[in-house]
Amino acid sequence: MAQQNMIAFAKGLTKAFKGKSALSNVDLEICSGQVLAILGANGAGKTTLINILLGRLNHDSGDVSLFNAKAGSLEAKRLTGAMLQVANLPETLKIKEHIRLFQCYYPNPMPYEKVLAYAGLEKMQNRYSKKLSGGEKQRLLFALSICGNPKLLFLDEPSVGMDIESRQSMWQAIRDLKSTGTSIVLTTHYLQEADSLADEILLLKDGKVVKRGSSEAIKASVNHTTIRFCTDLDAAAFDGFDGVVSCAKSGKYIEVQTSNASQCLQGILAAYPNLEDVTVERAGLEEAFKQLS
């Protein structure tokens, strides 16, 4: 990543709540036009990290800077957009009213029509927020987060509650924003989202960065292969083969994780030539995620 394009960073970030560590010594850099995904289980520190970057939470030690300004300062806020998890929004305002109001908070708001187009809300401008489904609310929150033409956009679990179609169109919007030079930091549970959008993934566990790199690099760091086949036998029958890390039965299928795919597969097929429906697959992000966190 080109260092001269770095627009925000955190260094040695540490935060504890009542003596319980929430983040310890977290470093990250955000470069312009980059999508950074923060992955981690519940309680790994994702939301704490976002809140510190937004200046909504004070950190105990370390440095945070956005656009050479303090996190949460007015300068930083004007260049930043945030989509946070919200249970509900004021019900008696219409979509267009919410957007118009948020536009006026910024010196150079994004044009109204463009906000609508990015968020896919053209057909429901006059709808009251009371009448929106979960996914539509997420789209409105996304619209509000981009109202100010942000250079840096924080998305906390953006596609929660969205159907496949809205999810795809939001991913497209994120790619379009990225291509205009907007940097995006997103947290997600949804690994496919990180896989298809992120230039860099930061894997958090118990407040520590356990892995950092591109989606490909993270997948490659887990050199497991899954062999999957259909059989009536028990999973335990496959424990002893070459490089087997784990075996599990799900329905009629058995999944064997191995670090030595070719030897293991040869061994299994020699012992049980009648297996049906055999597939071999390199570990995806999900396996990597399970293993690392």
Partner 1 sequence: MGSHINHDQTMTFNKHVNVYWQETKYEWLKSIRNPAFALPAVTFPGLFYVFFGVLMNGYNPQAATYLLCTYGVFGVMGPALFSFGAGLAIERGQGWLDIKSASPMPGGAQVISRLFVSMGFSILILLSLGGLAASLTDISLTLSQVGVLSVILVLGGLPFCLLGLTLGLSLKAESAPVVINMVYLPMSFLSGLWIPIAMLPEFLQSFAEFLPPYHLSQLALKVVGLDAGGSVANHILILGLFSGIFYVFAVLASRKKAN
Q: What are the φ/ψ torsions at residue 126 (nearest 5 degrees)?
A: -95, 10
Contact mark string toward partner 1, 177..196, x via CB under 8 A: ---xxx--------------
> Among residues 23, 31, 54, 170, which is the contact residue for partner 1, using CB under 8 A?
54
List the one residue from 21, 32, 192, 259 that touches partner 1 (CB under 8 A): 32
For partner 1, which is the closer residue by CB, 42 or 250?
42
- Contact residue for partner 1 among 104, 164, 236, 270 (CB under 8 A): 104
Does 168 contact partner 1 by CB under 8 A? no
Kindly report the CA angle at 227 between 223 and 231, in degrees rounded to 5? 160
User: What are 79's two structure tokens?
Assistant: 């260049």
Confirm if 89 and 142 have CB atoms less than 8 A apart.
Answer: no
Q: Which stretch binds partner 1 (CB under 8 A): 92-100, 184-192, 197-205, 266-274?
A: 92-100
247-276: contacts with partner 1 (CB under 8 A)? none
Classify burial at 234, counting beta carbons within 10 Å of its beta carbon; exposed 0-12, middle 13-18, buried 19 or more. Answer: exposed
Applying CB under 8 A, which part among 50-58, 229-237, 247-255, 268-276 lies near partner 1?
50-58
141 binds partner 1 (CB under 8 A): yes
| Sole binder of partner 1 in the list 6, 29, 33, 242 (CB under 8 A) | 33
* Of positions 1, 11, 12, 56, contacts partner 1 by CB under 8 A: 56
Select 89 or 280, whichever has its Cβ closest to partner 1.
89
d(CA 53, CA 119): 24
Positions of E strands within the chain: 6-17, 20-31, 35-39, 61-66, 80-83, 152-156, 183-188, 200-205, 208-213, 225-230, 244-250, 253-258, 276-282
CB-based burial of residue 232 (10 Å sphere; 0-12 exposed, 13-18 middle, 19+ buried)?
A: exposed
* Interface stretch with partner 1, choices 69-77, 228-236, 247-255, 273-281 (CB under 8 A): 69-77
The whole-angstrom separation of Cα 75 and Cα 67 is 8
Residue 132 in the binding site for partner 1 (CB under 8 A)? no
Tell me the sheet residues that pair with 250: 253
Q: Is 134 in the site for partner 1 (CB under 8 A)?
A: no
Identity of the residue, 88 or 250, whose beta carbon is nearer to partner 1 in the bound complex: 88
Shortest reach from residue 65's CB to partner 1, in Å: 16
Least separation, in Å, of the C-beta of 222 and partner 1? 35
Stretch that binds partner 1, among 146-154, 215-223, 258-266, 268-276 (CB under 8 A): 146-154
Instruction: Verify binding: residue 80, partner 1, rule CB under 8 A.
Output: yes
Polymer length in residues for the chain: 293
Say if residues 67 and 7 touch (Cβ distance below 8 Å). yes
Q: At what angle are helices 95-103 and 134-146 packed, to 10 degrees?
A: 20
Element spanning 288, H or E: helix 285-292
Which residues of this protein are in contact with partner 1, per CB under 8 A?
Answer: 32-33, 54, 56-58, 74-75, 77-80, 82, 84-93, 97, 100-102, 104-108, 141, 144, 148-149, 154, 180-182
